[in-house]
Amino acid sequence: MGKKRRNALEYDVDALKALADSIKASRKEVADGGLINLDIDLDKLKEVVVGLPKKEREALEKYFGLIPGTAAVRKMKNSLERMRKDVAFCDIINRSRTAVYSLMKFEYISVYDRNAHELMQNIISKIDKGDDEDISDIDIIRYFVIFLIFIIDGPKMLYEEGTDTLNEDVEAVANYEVYSTLNSVWNASMHRLEDKSISLYAIKQLISMFEVCDVQAMRKYVGLPVEKEFEEDKPLGTFKEIRLFKERLFPYGAWSVTTSMLYYAIRPKSKIKKFSSAVNKFKRTGWKQIQDYKADGFIILEFSSGIREVSVYDIGGFIFSDPYEVMFLSVTPEVF
């Protein structure tokens, strides 16, 4: 059946409601508890289902009985017994579960949830996409999510306040729910930013500073295309996996200066000229004379493997714990 004919096909309303309820219930299994309630538009949900890959769409149609007049697999008796004996029946159930989890991606939620699209547009209004006019709205969000989850706060997790963390048992199974995370960040701080205050180009440059395999892992996490050789790599999932990944990315602490300048747009004019000059000088000679920049004191970082003391450096009036951060600022001068 062609897409136009399928779009014209009516889905059973009660079956769509059952699918919507299944999406809401399944979210609890992969999130940390701070879920924003979904307000699902059934017509938009149908549009999303119709656009899914054929095998996932057909599995949902069969499992929930979406097409009027067809029997819903979910209502069949002795389904567990049939799963043991009927490979095709088992395949429908497994594919339908995969499809339900696919529908929990923000790219789909932003279509069928009545409030998510507005949130997405609000966030995009704060991001300057520069010359990248052809980039889609959802890809802008994906790059921002990388910045939000993997870059901000360095080795610490986004949800940590002070020394508070989720316990290890929860972190081993919990995951970020992108919609809820974006909503929380918007309400907490992002709504106060000026429009187009965050540079998409700078975010892309920042991501590219890391090892290729790590960049591909972050891209895969948010649904951006990855190079073929990394397609089969195990994806990042739980808080625990993401924490260990971030600790490896930021062994000397958060890139606080970059975050302040890029996210909060804190650029004190009185310091910028001095800072810009110092960054360029450090780029030329700093690595050879790193001890000349060492400041008094140190910071204490708490990693999964234990406590670590890290030296700090004064470069152009700003304090850094990881001098490599200065190299990013030197190649991305529009940040400051």
Domain match, 239 and 122 both: yes
Considering the domain architecture, whether residues 306 and 231 belong to the same structural domain is answered as: no
**In this structure, are 79 and 154 located in the same domain?**
no
Distance between alpha carbon 1 and the CA centroid of its chain, in Å? Answer: 35
* pLDDT at 163 > cutoff 60: no
Q: Give, in degrees to the nearest 5, the angle at Cα 269 between 263 and 271.
A: 95
Report which of residues 153 and 266 the model is more confident about.
153
Residue 23 inside a domain? The answer is yes
Q: Are 294 and 257 in contact (CB under 8 A)?
A: no
| Residue 261: φ, ψ to 5° | -75, -35
The answer to whether residues 17 and 96 belong to one domain is: yes
Q: Is 177 part of a structural domain of the chain?
A: yes
Domain boundary among 216, 250, 284: 250
One domain, residues 56 and 25: yes
Regarding whether 274 and 246 lie in a shared domain, the answer is no
Asked if residue 317 belongs to a domain, the reply is: yes
Examine residue 64 and state whether it is found in any structural domain, yes or no.
yes
Q: Both 192 and 223 in a single domain?
A: yes
Count of structural domains, the chain:
3
Can you tell me which residue has the tokens 């948010």?
222
Q: Are residues 245 and 124 in the same domain?
A: yes
Q: Do the domain assignments include residue 321?
A: yes
The last residue of one of the domains, among 79, 112, 145, is 112
Give the C-alpha distances (Å, rounded to integers) separating 189 from 73, 76, 231, 254.
45, 49, 35, 19
Residues 243 and 318 in one domain: no
Task: Identify whether residues 187 and 86 lie together within a single domain.
Answer: no
Domain boundary among 72, 97, 112: 112
Q: Which range of residues forms the domain containing residue 165? A: 116-250
CA distance 110 to 117: 5
Decide if 61 is inside a domain: yes
Pick 333 or 104 by higher pLDDT: 104
Beta carbons of 334 and 203 less than 8 angstroms apart: no
pLDDT in tens, 85-117: 666 777 888 889 899 999 999 999 999 999 999
Residues 132, 214, single domain; the answer is: yes
Model confidence pLDDT, tens digit, residues 126-146? 999 988 889 999 999 999 999
Interval 3-17 mean pLDDT:
77
Q: Are 8 and 94 members of one domain?
A: yes
- The residues near 294 (Cβ < 8 Å, ≥ 6 apart) are 311, 312, 313, 314
Q: What is the mean pLDDT of the chain?
A: 85
| Model confidence band, residue 249 (pLDDT cutoffs 50, 70, 90) | very high
Residue 264 lies in a domain: no
Range of weakest confidence among 72-81, 233-242, 287-296: 72-81
- Is residue 261, in this structure, part of any structural domain at all? no
Q: What band does 30 get if pLDDT is binned at 50, 70 and 90? A: very low
